Amino acid sequence: MTFKTREAIRLSDGRELIYFNEGATDWATYPDTRELPPPPPTSQLRYDPLLDEWVAIAAHRQTRTFMPPPDACPLCATKPSFASEIPAPDYDVVVFENQFPSFSDRVKADEVSEITGMVPVRPGVGRCEVVCFTSDHNSAFVHLPPSRVRTVVDALADRTAEMSRLTGVAQVFPFENRGVEIGVTLQHPHGQIYAFPTVPPRTKLMLAAAARYRDRTGRDLYTDVLAAERADGARVIGSNEHWTAYVPAAARWPFEVQIAPHRKVPDLPALSDAERDAFGPLYLDVLRRFDGLFGKPMPYISAWNQAVVGEGRELGYLHLQLFSIRRAADKLKYLAGSESAMGFFVNDIVPEKAAQMLRDV
């Protein structure tokens, strides 16, 4: 790990906050001086029998903070004129419980009721955390040095390990949303971590595909997909000793890249020091290529796919999925009828062309 100290405190409403310090400064000595109401109740999970999926209903999130001015940003360090979510006057990387969580570990998992006999209801047990990459409000992940990316990876690994041990957690999902086009509600450079109470639909599909492939061939699906992409090379954006970045052959999004370690590992905590160090330079290069495509900041979602906590864990292969809804300098890809209603994606850009455009930046 690269961070020198890990300091945990409690905010005034009882939520946990953790400083991951690259230097020797003791930020934990600064108390939260705000008077906050207790954390809201968790979301409600309702089962959809038609799709065999759970849906979270989180009415309390309707009142979450939306696009505050820079001098009232809750993710900046606290200053004399404004007390933020981070009590210290500065920080390196900080993680704290979301004030408006979709899932919470403050409730019991066994409180089950029903809407009808067909729709059981249960609490949204889990956890949601916010990850601030830098105290610089006007920065972005792409502008971080590789050493800071390493600190972020270490922080995500720390949180993945801890959240995976929580009762009722099925999968830990770190991600970043960037850009108003994506729908961010806070401009400060940050990501989130969701500890899901059930296996998400996309993960269920991936597990089923991996299980079928293993039963048919005796081999690991993602291992073979990655090997095929590296051997073909037509969609590879970049690589180093430990990682490869490539556009999937059946990419759903106009510009989509997966970054995977060459060694099969289930999650971030399983990465070696060398693998953690090697990730940052390649990822930053891909982000710079995204921004360089149209000469302006690219809206994107960056999503870590990690192994599930329980059954099917052996099928997981850690990888990062990075994609943008921008398909041209002045055009966005909207999920219209085919995608939103039926989940059938129609991509406007040939993946090989997208890969060549990214390599040419």
pLDDT one-digit tens code per residue, 5-49: 999 999 999 999 999 999 988 899 999 999 999 988 778 999 999
pLDDT, tens only, 112-166: 677 888 999 999 999 999 999 999 999 999 999 999 999 999 999 999 999 999 9
Q: What is the pLDDT of residue 346?
A: 95
Catalytically active residues are: 190
Q: What is the pLDDT of residue 108?
A: 65
User: Does residue 276 have a pLDDT over 80?
Assistant: yes
Average pLDDT, rounded, for the chain: 95
- Pair of tokens at residue 330: 């002045």
Q: What is the pLDDT of residue 116?
A: 83
User: Does residue 110 have a pLDDT over 70?
Assistant: no
| Nearest alpha carbon to residue 257 among 176, 306, 323 | 323
- Measured CA to CA, the distance from residue 249 to residue 251 in angstroms comes to 6
For 202-360, the fitting CATH number among 3.30.9.10, 3.40.50.300, 3.40.50.720, 3.30.428.10 is 3.30.428.10
Greatest mean pLDDT range, 14-28, 63-77, 302-316: 302-316
pLDDT, tens only, 165-189: 999 999 999 999 999 999 999 999 9
Q: What is the pLDDT of residue 111?
A: 67
Q: What is the pLDDT of residue 295?
A: 96
Any alpha helices (H) in the chain, and if so which ranges?
146-164, 201-217, 221-232, 273-293, 342, 351-360
Reported as a pLDDT band with limits 50, 70 and 90, residue 197 is very high
- Measured CA to CA, the distance from residue 293 to residue 295 in angstroms comes to 6
Q: What is the mean pLDDT of residues 63-78?
A: 92
Which DSSP string corresponds to 187-245? -SSEEEEEEESS--HHHHHHHHHHHHHHHHHSS-HHHHHHHHHHHH-TTEEEE-SSEEE
Q: What is the mean pLDDT of residues 81-99?
A: 97
Provide the percentage of residues in the chain whose pLDDT is more than 70: 98
- Measured CA to CA, the distance from residue 291 to residue 284 in angstroms comes to 11
Q: What is the pLDDT of residue 25?
A: 84
Higher pLDDT, 115 or 241: 241
33 HSE (CA, 13 A, CB side)? 12
- Residue entry with tokens 């409403």: 13
Higher pLDDT, 16 or 105: 16
Confirm whether 5-198 and 202-360 share one CATH topology.
yes
Domain regions of the chain by residue span? 5-198, 202-360
Q: Are 105 and 131 in contact (CB under 8 A)?
A: no
Q: What is the pLDDT of residue 41?
A: 77
Architecture of domain 5-198: 2-Layer Sandwich (3.30)
Entry pTM:
0.96
Higher pLDDT, 144 or 1: 144
- Measured CA to CA, the distance from residue 101 to residue 90 in angstroms comes to 24
- Measured CA to CA, the distance from residue 57 to residue 21 in angstroms comes to 36
